[in-house]
Structure 1
Amino acid sequence: MKTKRAIFIGSLIVLFICCYSIMNKHFDPLARYKYADNDNRDLIISYLSSEDINYLIDRQLLPEEFMPYFGISDFNIRYTVYYNIAKAARPADAQTIVDFVNKYLDVTFNHDNLEPLVRNYSYELMSDFFEHGDRYAENEGLLIDPSALTAKIIEGKTLYRYQPDDLVDIVNVPSVNAYSENEPIQVRKEPASALSSLCAAATELNGKTCGNMILVGGFVSYEEQVELYEQALLHYGYDEVDQHIFKPGHFENQLGYTVELQLAKVEVEKAEAKEATADDAEAENKKQENEQIAWLKKHIAEYGFVFRYPEDVNEKGHLVLRYVGVEKAKEMTEKGLRLEDIG
């Protein structure tokens, strides 16, 4: 009796093992993944571990979201959303994107700031900055979105070697580059067009080209800033240099939205009865300057510009205009706001 019972139990165990083996052989690990089909099923199973498959099932990721990274070294399906954010913002080969995200995720960027960072800075530039830093910006991070119309330099952030990708030479505007002699003055495409229109309208001031105003500054590259800063350092010394010039990567002109104008001097001609004096010339220039500034204050918002500084001019005596777009310029002008007043 005992022998029969043992044989019966043994038979049940063998049967259970056989059934389990057959079921396991035909078990579909992607049964709960609704996007599995005959074309992708085997490929997904061959590339993903059981833990990865469970993650895939939980998130129900689309095949096109993760399969392009199959075969890429160190691909991590948990970072799929970051890979695709980076790829959409700045297309590159899959290995470059995977390496970049894997190395710097949570260390230098997160879900909220990845897109603007990648859109504005190349992978090479960011990697260089993250690895080596910048001697002029110790312990600082990159300005998150320098392409924003109301972007401004803030404490603890640098532009490093950022350069807008739509810089154009400013034409049809009298210009002399005060920062890089013999080089054309550039700004981003949108403010360049607006400045040309503003300059054409300013002729109504006195009948002279651009209202007798000269463009003297626009975009200034990081490399140009380094040269200017080093020259200032020799002149002023370490203790005072920062009082006279911005550190490289901290000059708002690098954003490509700033233009600087200089008011041209008026030559007072000799009158029939008496010779014009230096005082006459000074008075005439002051009169013209007041008219030019008054005209600009009345009209620049119509073209998307605001005065950048309350005193209207910078340390070089240039009128500094900042492009923010027509809607924002009118709002700022009506409310008396500066960029610092905008979050």
Structure 2
Amino acid sequence: MEKKTLAYRLSLIALCFVVAVICLKRMNETYDPLARYPYADASNREKILNNLNEKEIDYMITQQLRPEEYMEFIGLPDFSIYNTLYYTQAKDTQNTSDEYIVNFVNKYRSRFSLDSLKMYLTNYSYADLTSFFENEQVMHQNMQLVQDPRYMYLVLNQNRSVYHYVPDDLYSQNGVLVKKEAAASLKNMFDDFNKTFEGQWLSVEEGYLNYEQVVTKYLQAQDVFGDDVDEYMLPGGSNEQQLGYTVAFEGHSKWNEAVAKEKCYIDHYYGIVEEELDENEREKIEWIRNNAWRYGFTVRYPQGKEAVTAHYYQPYLVRYVGREQAKRMYENNLTMEEMDFGKEQSNG
């Protein structure tokens, strides 16, 4: 009797096991991985299931990604559901082919956040970004691309670049290009100087320079300053004359050539160069130093601040910052490097 009971129990267990296996198999066959995804419908279900595995579907559901955010990309060979928000951010900011966007994001995903991608594509082309990542950052590993080169108070240095950025609202003033907001102030500055000094003229030598112009000028400067060239000017991408707010008055090149000849920038003694200037030029330098702030300009690299600016004294080179900031800088003897303009500068 006991043997029959045991056999019966074992048979029952075996039967239950078989039934359980069949049930699990049937459940797996009928399991719907999109059951928890409210956006699946007849128009997208098959495409989602054909292109995403279970882990990717789970990520899509967890992140609440909507079909409109990825359906136009999902069929591409290199599509990754994990980069969906970057694809849509890129396309919304600067539209190009879906395939190009997928390849670009996949390759350079580690170079930007979602927010910085939008800033980059607002100010630079895909081609410029690719060139910068592949060339500039390879040659200069510490070089960072500035996210917002439009920022009025941007300070550049050897490790920060605006690459091929071209500012908008450039305005021709007295033969050079400057940002429109600086143009009227520059004209007032010319007019007042010319009224104050009868027979003398305050004129401009340089304004905005594009990347290629800076590269050419930098190479020429290397012949003059050698290894010290960066104390005179920075190379393409890192030069503030690409921003449109910097103006070099007539006499700038002559001053630089004299400083290079006498090597004044090494010990910061400029007296010998000033002695070579005529009285009119000395008056001009003094007037610029004491009055540029009234028109919203500051002497960009003033005397006595070489250790702060990393540039030697350049009395003819001014930068537009607006009258309020220029006044504060003048009264407190501050350079742009020492100012707090109320916005984070390190947005590389």
2-structure distance, mates of 1:99, 1:255: 31
Distance apart, 1:325 and its partner CA: 5.3
CA distance, structure 1, for counterparts of residue 88 and residue 215 of structure 2: 35
| One-letter code aligned to 1:221 | N
Q: Partner residue of 1:278?
A: none
Please list the CA deviations of residues 149-186 of structure 1 after superposition, one character each: whole Å capped at 9, or x if unmatched. Answer: 22211343334x42225263x33x323xxxxxxxxx33
Q: 1:199 to 1:130 in 2, by over 3 A?
A: same
Q: Which of residues 141, 144, 148 in structure 2 aligns to 1:142?
A: 144
Residue pairs, 1:58-97, within 5 angstroms: 58-97=62-101
Instruction: Spell out, residue by residue over 1:71-115, the C-alpha distance to the aligned partner (whole angstroms, 9 max, x if none).
Output: 122111112233233334433222222212211222x33456433
Matched, 1:250 2:254: no
Q: 1:290 to 1:156 in 2, by over 3 A?
A: closer
Cα displacement (A) at 1:260:
2.6
1:287, CA displacement in angstroms? 5.5
C-alpha separation in 2, matches of 1:241 and 1:206? 33
Q: How does 1:204-283 map to 2 (within 5 A)?
A: 207=195, 212-237=201-226, 239-262=227-250
Q: Name which of 273, 292, 298 aligns with 1:296.
A: 292
Question: Is the counterpart of residue 33 in structure 1 residue 28 in structure 2?
Answer: no
Structure 1 331/24 Cα, relative in aligned 2: closer, same or farther at 3 Å?
Answer: farther
SS at 2:150 equivalent: coil
Structure 2 partner of 1:174:
174
CA contact (8 A) 1:219 1:254 kept: yes
TM-score by length of 2: 0.69
User: Residue 308 of structure 1: SS of its match in structure 2?
Assistant: strand
Change (3 A) 1:285 1:126: closer
- Alignment partners' CA distance in 2, 1:292 and 1:4: 108
Q: Distance in 1 between matches of 2:157 and 2:223?
A: 26
Matches within 5 A, 1:38-49: 38-49=42-53
Letter in 1 for 2:112: F
Distance 1:284 1:128 in 2: 47
1: distance between equivalents of 2:56 and 2:137? Answer: 39
Note if 1:105 corresponds to 2:109. yes
1:59 CA drift (Å): 1.0
Counterpart Cα distance in 1 of 2:26 and 2:19: 11
Deviation at 1:254, TM superposition (A): 1.6
SS in 1 for 2:107: helix
**1:317/1:10 Cα in 2 relative to 1: closer, same or farther (>3 Å)?**
closer
Q: Deviations over 1:36-76 (max 9, x none)?
A: 33433332222211110010111111222222211122111
> Residues 262 and 284 from structure 1, CA distance in 2 versus in 1: closer, same or farther, beyond 3 angstroms?
closer
Distance in 2 (alpha carbons) for counterparts of 1:55 and 1:41: 16
More helix by share: 2
> 2:160 — aligned with what?
157
CA distance in 2, matches of 1:95, 1:65: 15
Which moved further from structure 2: 59-68 or 315-324? 315-324
Q: CA distance change for structure 1 residues 251 and 63 in 2, over 3 Å: closer, same or farther?
A: same
* Contact 1:306–1:322 (CA under 8 A) maintained in structure 2: yes
1:277 equivalent in structure 2: none
TM-score (norm 1): 0.70
Root mean square deviation, CA, Å: 4.0
- Paired letter, 1:109: F
Q: d(CA) in 2 for partners of 1:336 and 1:242?
A: 23
**Alpha-carbon spacing, 1:41–1:92, altered in 2? closer, same or farther (3 Å):** same
Q: Residue 89 of structure 2 aligns to a residue in which SS?
A: helix
Match of 1:180 in 2: none
Q: How many pairs align?
A: 304
What is the identity, as a one-letter code, of the residue corresponding to 1:132? N
Q: Which amino acid aligns with 1:228?
A: K
1:205, 1:292 within 8 Å by CA — same for their partners in 2? no
Q: Which amino acid aligns with 1:321?
A: V
Equivalent-residue separation in structure 2 for 1:132 and 1:201 (angstroms): 41
C-alpha contact 1:218 1:253 (8 A) present in aligned 2: yes
Residue aligned with 1:105, SS: helix
